[in-house]
Structure 1
Amino acid sequence: MSRKYKIRDQEKLYFVTFTIVEWIDLFTRRIYRDILLDSLRYCQQNKGLDLCAYCIMSSHAHFIIGRNGEQPLEGIIRDVKKFTSVKIIEEIQINPQESRKDLLLWHFSKAGRFNPNNKSFQVWQQHSHPVELNTNDKLSRCLHYIHHNPVEAGIVLSPEEYLYSSASNYAGLTDTLMEVILVE
């Protein structure tokens, strides 16, 4: 892994991206998005995750995260990815309505076979490319990028309309999916 993409200061906020292997459009189904959100909630409550911004797109998710406990940020990221991978694979296997079951399992199995860190399936790409947000300008640019991702993709006209994003939190709306720590 490049030294450019390492978490050096555990007390800083970081912009990270979790990407599905081969950029597969996994998060087109609500159940998989909800697995990710549930894992993030668990880490907020039990592992010291500070979630400041998020956006779940079809093949990836962006976050601004920090920590408020003793567990290293890398450990929290690892735990989220590991837990969600297992749960997503289980859901694919048992869901009779998953029309892409064979295709998804084949791709995740293929990725897992070529990665010595996995036993059988790999859902997430290995890297998260953490970028330390050590200036207000970087923080502001990343926050804008995260929240405008669905707008740029042509999914919504304004960021706060996208359900699976913290843009609604920042717009002051009360009906949001996740609690976040507002920054700017």
Structure 2
Amino acid sequence: MPVRTKHSNDSSLYYITFTCFSWLPLFQLTNTYDMVYKWFNYLNEKKSIKTTAYVIMPNHLHCILFLRTADFSLDKIISNAKRFIAYEIIKRLQHSNQTDILQQLQDAVTAKEKAKGQLHTVFEESFDAKGIDNRKFFLQKLNYIHLNPIRGNYKLVNDWREY
């Protein structure tokens, strides 16, 4: 059962994180960074949701979204994004014949999900969303996004401005 993140319509800025299944580096393996950009463009053009900041890591994504209106469902926005990106990840894994990873993603599907027609588990079920209601919290999350590529296991660059 998915863990739903509680949110209110009081905030118009949200810090959001979602993660690939078992922290697998699926964005990197399939080079699906372009699909995240397509999602951001879709949000902007069709939903009037602006991406204020983001970082796409090999196995997870952080972003700050600005929602102009109060009539939204973060659960729906994020679940649609994950579904949209997941289809392309699977397609690219199949195209590159990455059978071991595809099998791992198939094995992760529960009986209940299989009954609904799900074939692969590409992302962790839940996501994190925190309303941003003050400058201090906004700057904290913005700095975290900027510094994410130079910290942790990946250390993708030496200087955050390079990423």
TM-score by length of 2: 0.84
Q: Deviations over 1:55-102 (max 9, x none)?
A: 01111111111323554333221211111111211121123xx5xx11
Sequence identity percentage: 25
Task: Rate the CA distance shift 1:115–1:139 in 2: closer, same or farther, 3 A.
Answer: farther
Is contact 1:113-1:120 (8 Å) kept? no
Q: 1:107 to 1:66 in 2, by over 3 A?
A: farther
| Structure 2 SS opposite 1:27 | helix
Correspondence for 2:33: 33
Distance 1:7 1:130 in 2: 7
* Equivalent pair of 1:49/1:76 in contact (CA under 8 Å): no
Match of 1:66 in 2: 66
Flag the 1:115–1:151 CA change in 2: closer, same or farther, 3 A. farther
Q: Give 1:159's aligned residue.
A: 160
Offset, 1:120: 1.1
The AA in structure 1 aligned to 2:64 is I
Q: Aligned pair count?
A: 157
Deviation beyond 6 Å, 4+ runs, structure 1: none
Residue aligned with 2:128, SS:
coil
Secondary structure of the residue aligned to 2:107 is helix
Aligned-partner Cα distance in 1 for 2:130–2:117: 25
Structure 2 unmatched runs, 5+:
none
Q: Which has the higher contact order (CA 8 A, sep 6+)?
A: 2
SS at match of 1:58: coil
CA deviation map 1:147-179 (0-9, x unaligned):
1001114221221110xxxxxxxxxxxxxxxxx
Q: Which aligned pairs between 1:1-184 and structure 2 lie closer than 5 A?
A: 5-9=5-9, 11-29=11-29, 31-69=31-69, 70-95=71-96, 101-113=98-110, 116=113, 119-153=118-152, 154-162=155-163
Label 1:115 to 1:106 Cα distance change in 2 as closer, same or farther (>3 A).
farther
More helix by share: 2
Q: What is the TM-score of this pair, normalised by structure 1?
A: 0.75
